[in-house]
Chains A and B, each alone.
Chain A
């Protein structure tokens, strides 16, 4: 067992877990943050994506010990006190979420993308989300959600 310190969505947490336990399971089982989903367990689908020190990672591939001392953002940390983040609002309005199982990972991937490119081109969106599989939407509504969110954020920043 190892003691692992994490900053999760701004809060400091310590958990005692086997060092090789997947970060995904630490989040879901030890910290009861079930918004992070498992789709494949092998780094292909992005359902388990979280932001680790601002980088988009698949939490199913990261051993707990490797995450020690990092700062994490999960889907639970995207909204503030029940207020939807603009990205969430756009996914909701534009049909970016159907069954919803890919949505948490997709929203974090979008956040990462928009941090990098506040005004992404279509290619940048397609590439930026290529690590997140969605079987329901065919991605078109997701692209629209991302474009709309970019517009909203830029308008907000300019105001």
Chain B
């Protein structure tokens, strides 16, 4: 009897799970190479300035150390991301606190700390800018007074030509630009109401529990020249690091080998940053002629590596009194930190998601990423979408309150549906049913009953309870033509034992890459899940299946694994007569027969864009993403008006992510993302002191513990997608988008106070309540003189 296994949709155990629960999984810091040295980084203590002098104190015998300076870099002194403005080591000039200046290595790890304390650097300090507003003011001073003293980017040594203090801008129209402007003018003239709002989000630390770490080796020719380098480490995107190394060393791709080892969480924090630490360790290995390990400690990792971009979003919306959106303008501004890194792509995603899951007859989104003297901000789960979705989902509630409608009514009036066109002009061909999603999510959460009950109970209680929700979507895969450019490739081999091995550069860092790709192959090849293996992501062995980011692995890479599997079956059926509906034994026999006859057996699949995909990078119009995941999240909160503590007391997360490939992993992804979202909203505050993260410890940067989180109820709506393997779509980032606006909406429902800035800590609530003069909350007046964050104008009807 041929076995027909249903592997996709079941929850087989995580591929590398056994090693993890045994404590046997080997992470970077668990590895050692013979004669390995340890490396450390000397960082700037000022935000901006010229390096005047570096002194090495006599207390230390520096002969024992290897010291790398910018001048030792054999290739370009640059960490390449999208631009080449980011130095590998500061060369005479620093642009943010904790910027790497020197690297040191020693055989004994313990010797490094003392050495670091004995290197002194003097600076000629320059004034810095530390917020979006300060950066904008600096540009204004340049334009109006020709004062360039706070223009911090492009930096003196950078070869990149950019606008002063601005990495990137976008302008996106819902239609032809001119016609949209005319339409907007008319919309604002005829609107019953014009509602304005400003929404701000803070930086957020990824806080993977395993800090960044790598081990590098360098190999020489007989003439003593650098022949190749090899870096192992904790990372998401091995080929990004290959690219970075080729520039730093001036070596070709195939001489820069990168191996991902078990990675203890990443969340975007190990997308772009390994290019920095990986290049550093490789430079030390080159100069010391020893393998070199660099492992950051928590304080260094928090102070020196990337965070989520802080943001400010401004909405101005023309609405009819029944809640219909007539037109709107949105301005999204991100704080990119000191160098461009990935800011332009984060901004792109923020721009496209700014309109939310709504129909906008006329919409203009303008966005920009500003430079500040903070360490560069980088990738973090959601990648710009959580910021701009926070804006639009808070704003929808503001519109509702202004119009005297419920948050539900306003959204229902404007939801996108099947056949509608998104703000970028993408027709939604696949089924979208946000009306039903909203109904179901509110029912699951008992929303209506709670709204009524809490309103009654709150009258007599100092604990104000409330419910709120957010409706949103997240585009799967790279934006626009990104996937076409990535041109991803996967291989599927059959090994000697007649069983397959998947070769991809897609990495496992907890989300379940290994497991779901194995499920896809097992299901397609009709083999048991246990028979599928994955090669370690080693760039000398695996093809480039693209970076493990942007919720693209399940849908895009999964589809390629499915296609490679189908191709393998076809080859076996044609060449060695593998019967249709084969058994495992028949597969093994056929695979072995093929190998005996032809040698190796390798199937491959390369990305092919879905036929009619159109994207205009100039005008920012067209099919922004191959697919979207849709969601409605409902939060229930309690705000204690004595302690000013807001707590999330229950969370319901409903999403449509296509076919759910692995229910246990999928739930885990959603719960983990919701927990990070709750932290983003209520706990995690980056305290900056002149650009340096002052609370760079787990003791004072607070992420949710098991005692802080409410029950999280996860619900799925399954609508198979044509783009992913067996109908799957991306899920990884979506859960990060919804919690913050849902929680702030719930807090407004509870207290009557509209909070528009996150994180919202008890001291923020206290301050706001004091300034409002409502010691116990109550209904907030929408009068502009009371509400300092926003303004609402009523246009004569």
A interface residues, Cβ below 8 angstroms from B: 28, 34-42, 44-45, 47, 74-76, 78-79, 84, 88-89, 91-104, 107, 125-127, 129-143
Are B27 and A126 touching (Cβ within 8 A)? Answer: no
Task: Provide a sorted-by-A list of 28 A–B residue pairs whose CB atoms are within 8 angstroms.
Answer: A28-B29, A34-B30, A35-B22, A35-B24, A39-B210, A40-B298, A44-B697, A74-B23, A75-B22, A76-B23, A92-B13, A95-B11, A97-B14, A98-B510, A98-B512, A100-B16, A100-B20, A100-B21, A100-B262, A101-B208, A103-B23, A131-B705, A134-B706, A135-B265, A135-B676, A136-B672, A137-B672, A140-B709
Q: Beyond A40-B698, A94-B664, A95-B665, is A101–B209 a contact (Cβ under 8 Å)? A: yes
Closest approach, in angstroms, between the C-beta of B251 and any C-beta of chain A?
A: 31
CA of A104 to CA of B676, assembled, Å: 22
**Closest CB of chain A to B156's CB: distance in Å?**
37
Report the bound CA distance from A74 to B23 in whole Å: 9
Q: Are A100 and B264 in contact, CB atoms less than 8 angstroms apart?
A: yes
Residues B697 and A40 in contact, CB atoms below 8 Å apart: yes
- Please tell me which one of the listed residues B23, B266, B665 contacts residue A104 in the complex, with CB atoms under 8 A apart: B23
- Which residues of chain B have C-beta atoms less than 8 A from A103's C-beta? 20-21, 23
Q: Tell which of B14, B22, B703 has the most Cβ of chain A within 10 Å.
A: B22
List residues of chain B with CB within 8 A of the CB of A95. 11, 14, 664-665, 667-668
Q: Given A42-B699, A103-B20, decide whether A138 and B709 contact each other with a Cβ distance below 8 A.
A: yes
Quick one: CB contact mask for B487-525 with A, threshold 8 Å, 1 for yes?
000000000000000000000011110000000000000
Q: Is there an interface contact between A126 and B668, defined as CB atoms closer than 8 Å? A: no
B674→A138 contact, CB < 8 A = yes
Residues of A within 8 A of B116 (CB): none
- On chain B, the residues within 8 Å of A101 by CB distance are 27, 208-210, 264-265
Question: Given the complex of chains A and B, what is the CA–CA distance between A104 and B524 in angstroms?
Answer: 35
Within 8 A of A (CB), among B64-90: none
Separation of A130 and B706 alpha carbons in the complex (Å): 5
Among all A-B residue pairs, the 5 with the closest Cβ atoms: A35-B23, A101-B264, A99-B510, A100-B20, A75-B23
Q: How far is the CA of A129 from the CA of B705 in the complex (A)?
A: 8
Choose among B16, B210, B664, B699 the residue with the greatest number of A CB atoms under 10 Å from its CB.
B210
Structural contact, A143 and B706, CB atoms closer than 8 A: yes
Q: Are A41 and B265 in contact (CB under 8 A)?
A: no
From A88, A132, A134, contact of B21 by CB (8 A): A88
Q: Name the A residues within 8 Å of B210 (CB-CB).
A: 37, 39, 99, 101
> In the complex, A10 Cα to B472 Cα: how many Å?
54
Contact with A along B210-223 (1 / 0, CB 8 A): 11000000000000
Distance of A110 from chain B, by nearest CB (Å): 11
Determine the distance from Cα of A63 to Cα of B296 in the docked complex, in whole angstroms: 21
Central interface residue in B18, B670, B699, by most chain A CB within 10 Å: B18
- Whether the pair A135, B208 counts as a contact (CB closer than 8 A) is yes
Instruction: Please tell me if B737 contacts chain A, counting CB pairs below 8 Å.
Output: no
| Contact partners of A76 in chain B: CB under 8 A | 22-23
Is B675 engaged at the interface, CB distance under 8 Å to the other chain? yes
Which B residues lie within 8 Å of A133 (CB)?
Answer: 209, 698, 703, 705
Say yes or no: is B712 at the interface (Cβ < 8 Å to chain A): yes
Interface check B683, CB cutoff 8 A: no
Q: Does B17 contact A (CB under 8 A)?
A: yes
A98 and B706 contact, Cβ closer than 8 Å, known pairs A79-B22, A84-B18: no
Contact B709 A42 (CB under 8 A): no
Interface residues in B262-301 by Cβ distance below 8 A to A read: 262-267, 297-298
Chain A contacts for B13, CB-based, 8 A: 92-93
In the complex, which residues of chain A have a beta carbon less than 8 angstroms from the beta carbon of B580? Answer: none
